[in-house]
Amino acid sequence: MDLKNREDIEALAGLMEEQGLTALELQLGEDRLVLSRAAAPAAAAPAQAAVTQTPALAEAPAPPVPVNDENMLKAPLVGNVYLAPGPGKPPFVAPGTAVKKGQTLCIIEAMKVMNEFPAPRDGVVAVVHVKNEQLVEYGQPLFT
C-alpha cells in the first residue's frame, strides 16, 4: 500500500464508509495518512485525506487506544442501533465521553423491543463505529 497513491486512499475511504467509520489513521514508515469524514446520517460526506512526512527525530505522538477485543464493545444482538434517547436529542455518548459501568451507551431495537446497551466497565469512549439508526449484526463493533 502506498499512502500517496490516489487509488489506495480512495479504497480506504470507501472502506471507511462501508464500515461506518468517521476517522482512520495509518502510518507506514515515515508516511502518515489521516482520513476523516463527518458522521452525518442523512448524507455521507466525502473523506478528506492528509498525508504528512513524520520527521525522523520528532517526538512520537501518544499511542492510540489499542483496538482489540478487550477494548471493543460489540453488538450483543441483531437490530437497529439508536445512539440517542430520541429524535433531536443529544447522543448518549460521543468520542471522549467518560462513562461509568452500567451507563447506557446506545439502544438496540430488536423485534420491536428496545434493549439498552450498558457500559460493561468504567472507561472513555474512543471511537463510535456505527451511525444512528444503522442496522447492526451480532458481534459488529459498536464502540472502542
The pLDDT profile of the chain, 144 residues, written as one tens digit per residue, is 666 777 777 777 777 777 777 776 777 777 777 776 665 444 444 555 555 554 444 444 444 555 556 778 899 899 999 999 988 899 999 998 899 999 999 999 988 889 999 999 998 999 999 999 999 999 899 998
* C-alpha to C-alpha distance for 114 and 112, rounded to whole angstroms: 7
15-36 burial, b if ≥16 CB within 10 A, otherwise e?
Answer: ebeeebbbebeeeeeeebbebb
Which three-class secondary structure state does DSSP give residue 6?
A: helix
46-70 burial, b if ≥16 CB within 10 A, otherwise e?
Answer: ebebeeeeeeeeeeeeeeeeeeeee
Stated pTM of the model: 0.53
